[in-house]
Amino acid sequence: MGMSKRREAPDWSSVDRQRLRVAERNAARELPASWLPIVKAEADSQTVRYGSGVLRDRVAAREVWMHWMAEYGGAQHADLSDAQIKAEARRHASDAKDLDAGLLAGGMTGWPEWARIDAFCVAREVVAPSPMLGLAGCAARVQCQYWWRRALRKMIARKCERGALSLGIVSKPAGQPYASNSAVFRRLDQNARNTDAMRHTFMENDEGARASLLDLAQRSTANRAIRRGELMTRIRGCEETADAQGHRGLFVTLTCPSRFHSTLRTGERNPKHDGSTPRDAQLWLRRQWARARAALHRAGYVVYGFRVAEPHHDGCTHWHALIWSPVNVWRVARILKRYWLQLEGDEPGARKYRTAFKVMDKGGAAGYIAKYVAKNIDDFEVGEHLDEYSDVPIQGDVFEGVDIRPSHRVEAWASTWGIRQFQAIGQPPVTVWRELRRIPESVARSFGGIGSPLFKAWHAAQRVGGVLASWSRYVAAQGGMGCGRTARLALAVDRRRIAGLYGEAERACPVGVLFVGRVAHSERQLWRRVEGGAGSSGLVPAPPRTRVNNCTHNRRGLGAGTEAVAALRRFGLLPVSSDGPMRRAARWFEPFGG
């Protein structure tokens, strides 16, 4: 027998070097180019001491590259052109048609079919359509390239911005406050595409009047100036109500624990940051506010006003709120402070910086919050942005020949993370206020004359000659602040089955204002799309859009959805112990047959 050849030990030094090079090449293909120098510096900092010298630990350096690949692989899609995103959307929509989603096998319930749709979307890193849309609606969406365009754009934007936050790119010292430059340019490009599309889309109403969709949008709250003006009208109305009744105003600043901050004041990365995004911070603020609001309700304290969500220089969300109350406002402040220190309240600086309160002087509250409204809309008469978490003001700059104002960055931040910037507190619904403007005076007078609540509210919502609309008079006609669902006037809706891109769905279409069981019908014009601004072809009804109150109130039981909830928990799609998601999911799956 021949002697077996002795196997030589591999040269691990060369193997580790080759693996490190492969990891770096893969990252160069999967990560944005602007990230690579920062990740490389982090990988180069991984060293190990051998004897008297310090050498680079290639295994640890490779793990750094692999970590960023695992978390943000594919983030280079931020540089994809719109045509490339459309091509990806067409491919995913074509692949989804092979699912045969929506075709129920014998005896198969709806939730396994939705689980297949969910797994298909998760594999492509996008959020699946909500089950409350119905199985057919979910299937129609994942098979539509236009749905995939929106989903891919949202996924790419959030993945890239999350990586930029973790790398410390989003900060005032780094020159990219509130949002990264890529997020800002992405939002500017989106606005430009939308504007161009609206400019070339023409509408015609029942009376034969024609206008471009852009002209119509400029007459609505989509116009920044109109949006700011309406917000200030409502804020001024709150102040007038408070001054007339002797209520004190309290200006409140509410912030998050330090783990939500990705960057320190100096621009260095925060070692306490746990990967939370501005959206996570917004959800934390909303959850604590819900708890505090419930405590205020239990104590019998009525509060009303507005809150504004805006970013710190590193993108972390914080709130400014201007609230009034009939009770001593310091009682309200104590409840808010208690709930804001309920979690992680023992960390250094929490008691000093987590909350801040300032009692407003009579007649000056609306002007105080006006700058916060303008900062988040169009920088109207705002000199510079001051951030409590940054030592220097945030000003505009010019990048690649584009003048970028701070409000552009704030808009990109809110759009990327899906954050609602303005929220009314304890006030009657604004949808009724807007619907009253569609009601003729003769109809308003027919509901009890000029002394009826409906006519008073109608008159308060109108601007006639030099008399401005008055939010305070509208609130008084509705029954006062804090009336909630006991308001005298409500939105009257008609439930209709409307055919859309994803099938038929029942919609609540506003038709007027409901008062003591009667409906004051509004005058509405049906606008239809016409091709090229001339001729009429492909007329499509444009139902009005309205908002609903999503405050927690459950009037429906679990029903047949309990089995679906239990199955989702087994799949890890719902938390093991959470009553709220269980009730919601039970309602979602009722249309699926359990």
584 — pLDDT class (breaks 50, 70, 90): very low
pLDDT at site 365:
74
**Contact yes or no for 321/423 (Cβ under 8 A):** no
In the chain, the largest separation of any two C-alpha atoms, in whole Å, equals 116
Q: What's the average model confidence in pLDDT over 478-505?
A: 87
- Give me the residue label for tokens 């119509």: 216
Give me the residue label for tokens 């402070």.
Answer: 337
Looking at CATH, the fold of the domain delimited by 224-263+271-425 is given as Alpha-Beta Plaits (3.30.70)
Q: Which residue has the higher pLDDT, 436 or 580?
A: 436
Categorise residue 522: left if φ over 0, alpha if ψ from -120 to 50, beta otherwise.
beta
Given a cut of 70, is residue 591 above it in pLDDT? no
Instruction: Classify burial at 121, counting beta carbons within 10 Å of its beta carbon; exposed 0-12, middle 13-18, buried 19 or more.
Output: buried
pLDDT-derived band of residue 578, with 50, 70 and 90 as boundaries? very low
- Over 60: is that where the pLDDT of 407 sits? yes
**What is the per-residue pLDDT for 537?**
38
Q: With contact defined as beta carbons under 8 Å apart, do 268 and 38 qualify? A: no
pLDDT score, position 290: 95
Say yes or no to pLDDT of 588 above 50. no
For the question of whether the overall pTM of this predicted structure is more than 0.85, the answer is no
Phi and psi torsions of 68, nearest 5°: -70, -30
The pLDDT confidence band at residue 110, using thresholds 50, 70 and 90, is: low
Asked if residue 536 has pLDDT above 60, the reply is no
pLDDT greater at residue 102 or residue 315? 315
Residue 474 pLDDT > 90: yes
| b/e 474-487 (16+ beta carbons within 10 angstroms → b) | bbbbbebbbbeeeb
Active-site residue, selected from the candidate residues 178, 304, 339, 372: 372
Total Cβ atoms within 10 A of residue 210: 14
Decide which of 468 and 323 is more confident.
Answer: 323
| pLDDT of the residue at 563 | 40
* Catalytic site includes residue 372: yes
Q: Which of 79-83, 236-240, 521-525 has the lowest mean pLDDT?
A: 79-83
Cβ atoms within 10 Å, residue 375: 22
Q: Does the annotation count 146 as an active-site position?
A: no
Mean pLDDT, residues 532-559: 41
- The token pair that represents 345 in the structure block: 């309240």
Averaged pLDDT for residues 8-32: 75
The residues, any chain, with a CB within 8 Å of residue 295's CB and separated by 6 or more, are: 335, 338, 339
When comparing pLDDT for 582 and 172, which is higher?
Answer: 172
Exposure of 40 in the CB half-sphere (CA atoms within 13 A): 12
Residue 265, pLDDT score: 85
More confident residue, 117 or 375: 117
Least confident range of 108-117, 182-191, 302-311, 435-444: 108-117
pLDDT tens column, 431-443 = 999 999 999 999 9
Task: Give pLDDT, residue 594.
Answer: 35
Mean pLDDT (whole number) for 143-161 = 91
Enter the tokens of residue 398: 């010019």
**What amino acid is encoded at 503 in this protein?**
G
Q: Beta-strand (E) ranges in 289-354?
A: 304-311, 317-325
What average pLDDT does the segment 365-382 reach?
Answer: 75
Confidence of residue 47 (pLDDT cuts 50, 70, 90): low
User: Are 428 and 475 within 8 A, CB to CB?
Assistant: yes
Query: Quick one: three-class SS letters along 443-474?
Result: HHHCCCHHHCHHHHHHHHHCCECCECCCHHHH
Average pLDDT over residues 448-469: 88
Our CA angle for 563, 568, 569, nearest 5°, is 100
CA–CA distance, 448 with 458 (Å, rounded to integer): 13
pLDDT of res. 505:
79
CB 413 within 8 A of CB 421: no
